[in-house]
Copies of this chain bind each other. A is one copy, B any other.
């Protein structure tokens, strides 16, 4: 499975690229440097000087121009060489640029031809912008596994019943069959658990016991290439969902960008509609999530990748269960998009 290129991948959280900073990161196995130009706009270039292949991220940034730290060739945000201290500037001195767009507190990169970048294809995550600071957290972790394994992990939340049994799981996801729907731009996995055992975290948040019963639901939406939103809420069993009672809703994103065929940039963020002014709760909530992702999800996926090895999961004929339907549909849809992209590239080549 090759990569989808004509789409937006999350490259960094906006605050990872301060003015004057050079962020070196590998996407789809290509080394890229991200920085802000003189106007504060983010720019991305191939992180390899065309002269002697020194990483431009080891260079100096001044007035929005990035100079190679080895022999001084300088490039602007468009990748054009703007200074050759050793002779004339010629067109062939350009370095590949990548289109970026900054939105939703993040920097997004288009891995196809920069001239083809279409901002209208950006997935709408406006709720991230609107979240108050005391009800918002975000983070990054480096994942040792193929990005699709991370996508699968969110598409199938039954894993919480086993991997996160002492925080996020109560068995309800397993007992409640998912409803999966497909639209032009997304695949949605909905789980609506009725009259169920509350999860350990719900018990803490609601001050209830294992004997109490709750209704709770989760909607996971996948957008290509590997962007997932996860919205959930819960209420005492049988309570109306009309807003009379606080459903303690959370709205989350899990966004994956391939670093290499075996490693992934994992970006996550969360906001909620309860305790929105409680900074202390917010910090604790963020810390709990980070601990779960780094000590439970990531190690399990890394171990899974280790067992899969250099091969592709599908080639190893994994046993398919009902819970894999989301994963199967997403992989199929993404593969169709990749195939379409390849076919279109072949036609253009003629």
Chain A residues with CB under 8 Å of chain B are 31, 47-48, 50-55, 58, 67-72, 84-87, 92-93, 152, 156, 158-159, 161-163, 174, 299-300, 303-304, 306-308, 313, 316, 318-319, 321-324
Contacts and interface: CB of A to CB of B under 8 A. Distances in A.
A187 to B, nearest CB: 19
B321 A86 contact: yes
A50 B319 contact: yes
Contacts of A50: 318-319
Contacts of A58: 299-300, 303
A303 B33 CA distance: 14
Given A48-B307, A300-B54, A303-B55, A68 B162 contact: yes
In order of increasing CB-CB distance, the 3 nearest A-B pairs are: A50-B319, A53-B307, A72-B162
A304 B86 contact: no
A72 B300 contact: no
Given A92-B319, A322-B86, A71 B158 contact: yes
Given A51-B318, A52-B152, A300 B162 contact: no
A208 to B, nearest CB: 24
A156 B54 CA distance: 14
Contacts of A86: 158, 174, 321-323
Contact of A318 (B47, B52, B299): B52
B69 A163 contact: yes
Contacts of A322: 86-87
A87 B163 CA distance: 19
Given A69-B163, A71-B159, A85-B158, 8 more contacts: A50-B318, A51-B319, A51-B321, A53-B307, A70-B162, A71-B156, A72-B162, A87-B321
Contacts of A68: 162
A67 B319 CA distance: 16
28 contacts: A31-B307, A50-B318, A50-B319, A51-B318, A51-B321, A51-B324, A52-B152, A52-B313, A53-B304, A53-B318, A54-B303, A54-B304, A54-B307, A55-B304, A55-B307, A58-B299, A58-B300, A68-B162, A69-B162, A70-B163, A70-B300, A71-B158, A71-B162, A71-B321, A72-B162, A72-B174, A85-B158, A85-B174
A293 to B, nearest CB: 15
A197 to B, nearest CB: 14
Contacts of A304: 52-55, 70
